[in-house]
Structure formats: C-alpha cells, structure tokens
Amino acid sequence: MKPAESRPCESASQRFNGFCVSSSNCAAVCNTEKFTDGKCKGFPRRSCVYIRNC
C-alpha cells in the first residue's frame, strides 16, 4: 500500500492588500493565517494566493 499523498490546495488571500509583487511577502501573510505557503498569481493584477496541503 502507498501512503496517502496530500495535494496542495489554493485559496485567495483575505488579508493581503494591494498588488502582489513579492511571493515572499505573500507567504509571510499566509503564514500568519496558519497556511504553509503563499505565492503571487494572476496577470495583470497579481493577487496573493494561500497554499496548504489538503
């Protein structure tokens, strides 16, 4: 049997304001809300997206 693999889930940030220029800033905001990571996503208005394992 293989161990269960978790896949990453993404959700839009609720607290990040403005344009997402730096994924490290986005990740820092995500970490304050108990998410494992975050990244900038989208064009031309880049938004911060939370990432966690489902």
Give buried/exposed letters for 6-19 (b at 16+ CB in 10 A, else e).
eeeeeeebeebeee
**For residue range 9-38, what is the model confidence (pLDDT) as tens digits?**
888 888 888 888 888 988 998 898 889 899
Q: Which CATH class is domain 8-53?
A: alpha beta
pLDDT of residue 37: 92
Output the pTM of the full model.
0.71
- Residue 39 and residue 22: Cα distance in Å, rounded? 8
User: For residue 14, what pLDDT is reported?
Assistant: 80
